Amino acid sequence: MRNIAVISTALAGEYEKSGAATVSLFGQLVNLGMVESEDTAFDAGCSANEYHVLVRKSAFSVNFRDLPLILKAGEFFEKSPDSYTYFPFGSDFVATVMAVGKGVKKLAPGDRVIPNADIAYINGQAVSGIPSNTASKEIEIFPEHKLVKIPQSMPVEVAAGFSVGAQTSYSMIGKAHLKKGDKILVTAGSSNTSLFLINALLGLKADVTVLTSSPGAKEKLMKMGVEKVIEIGRNEMPADNPQFSTLLKEQAGFDVIFDPFFDVYFPRIAIYLLPYGRYLTCGLRNQHPGVATEGEGMIDASSLATLIIRNNLSVIGNCLGDTGNIRQALNDYENEALKVAVDTVFSGAASAGDFIFNTYLNQERFGKVIFKYDT
């Protein structure tokens, strides 16, 4: 089977002819290539596999959460260049079922599936969530409940980048308890989570304003149907932005804010939440020292707490979602109520470096970047 992977210096030399590449990723050199390995073995009659499913991926993609894992692999191989090993990565994929255990009831060979990243807790500890941190492995085994069938009409390139963004955004929207007339702000408009949020909110005919600091994103967002898009500098305070100031003359603030990067936006935008407003976030940008950024003009924690208490604000965290969220997103997609932004599709061993570069470093990226295995 094939594996797109972070590879050691030793392996990079061996796979140079097949297109292994080195990418400078936030200051860390990372060797990337396609590694051939033995197929994953699966005995359908074994009791350990009774409720498990063997799948072959046709395409996969990575999310922002995968970046620290890729960087750490690069760091490891930098310290151990002669290590003859590799590190597959990724958390979204589309696959075809190859075989099932005896206890599997809802899936059969030939079914097309994507991950079900439902989150569950036991005694306060997360025991479920992302089914795989190695989605680039072409063949893999999963519990039946961690996979969900997809409509036949869903293209490979859409399915391969669907689960994490769709499940997360639908969970956030559910927790927001949206009401008719709510004024909604979505930050980081070209991030993948925000694009899923925006498309889902447009399907609900919501009143949405989008903030973006990405070059060229405003025009693309408006083509999606967003009427209010504000370009803002990465460290610019909203009060210093003429477009934002003009908007606040038309509306007093926002009832709901969806923000994928708590550490970047929350201190700058919390003051624009109306009384009883809801702020929802699903992550941080600064997950690794290599991608850390410092904002300017941010208010301190005490001031934020005072604001939250005084205005009866709700600050809601969100990690992934549940099975109902992914099924609703798939249903909406099938009924053309949810669109999915796909930026680029790569394939072939020589494209591993370009795939990662465009995912994390291309500032004009707009939508998911997909790696598709050649048939």
pLDDT digit string, tens, across residues 106-129: 999 999 999 999 987 766 776 779
Q: pLDDT tens for residues 70-102?
A: 999 999 999 988 888 899 999 999 999 999 999
Question: How many CA atoms lie within 13 Å of 318's alpha carbon, on the beta-carbon side?
Answer: 31
At 313, is the secondary structure helix, strand, or coil?
coil
Domain boundaries, the chain: 2-162+340-372, 165-317
Query: At the fourth CATH level, which superfamily is domain 165-317?
Result: NAD(P)-binding Rossmann-like Domain (3.40.50.720)
* Beta-carbon contacts of residue 230 (< 8 Å; ≥ 6 apart): 209, 210, 211, 212, 241, 243, 244, 247
273 contacts: CB under 8 Å, gap ≥ 6: 253, 254, 255, 257, 279, 311, 313
User: What's the pLDDT tens digit per position in 162-221?
Assistant: 999 999 999 999 999 999 999 999 999 999 999 999 999 999 999 999 999 988 899 999
pLDDT tens profile 11-43: 877 766 567 889 999 999 999 999 999 999 999
The number of angstroms, rounded, from the C-alpha of 163 to the middle of its chain's C-alpha atoms is 8
284 pLDDT band, cuts 50/70/90, is confident
Q: Residue 215: which H helix or E strand, with range?
A: none
Comparing C-alpha atoms, which of 86, 93, 88, 104 is closest to residue 42?
Answer: 104
Parallel, antiparallel, or unpaired: how do β-strands 342-347 and 314-317 relate?
unpaired
Q: How many CA atoms lie within 13 A of 297 on its CB side?
A: 11
Calculate Rg over the CA atoms of the chain.
21
**CA nearest to 359, candidates 57, 70, 72, 34:** 70
pLDDT of residue 233: 87
- Whether domain 2-162+340-372 has CATH 3.90.180.10: yes
The model's pTM:
0.92
164 in helix, strand or coil?
Answer: helix
Instruction: Report the distance separating Cα 194 and Cα 259, nearest Å.
Output: 8
**Model pLDDT, residue 81:** 82
Q: Report which of 270, 292, 284 is spatially closest to residue 318, judged by C-alpha positions.
A: 284
- The CB density around residue 218, as the number of other CB atoms within 10 Å, is 18
The two three-digit tokens of residue 236, written as one number: 């610019």
| Contact in structure between 354 and 369 (CB atoms under 8 Å) | no
- β-pair type (342-347, 368-372): parallel
Of 307, 297, 242, nearest in space to 275 by CA:
307
- CA dihedral 74→80→83→88, nearest 10 degrees, is -20
Contact indicator for 126, 119 with CB cutoff of 8 Å: yes
- DSSP secondary structure letter of residue 203: H
Q: Where are the beta strands (DSSP E) in the chain?
A: 2-7, 21-25, 28-36, 52-61, 86-88, 92-100, 112-115, 121-122, 125-126, 139-143, 147-149, 183-186, 207-212, 228-231, 254-259, 273-281, 314-317, 342-347, 368-372
For the segment 139-146, the average pLDDT, to the nearest whole number, is 96
Instruction: Compute the mean pLDDT over every residue in the chain, rounded to the nearest whole number.
Output: 91
Decide whether 2-162+340-372 matches 165-317 in CATH topology. Answer: no
Q: Is the pLDDT of residue 364 over 70?
A: yes
**Would you state the pLDDT for residue 112?**
98
Tokens of 53: 């499913």
- At 296, is the pLDDT very low, low, confident or very high (cuts 50, 70, 90)? very low
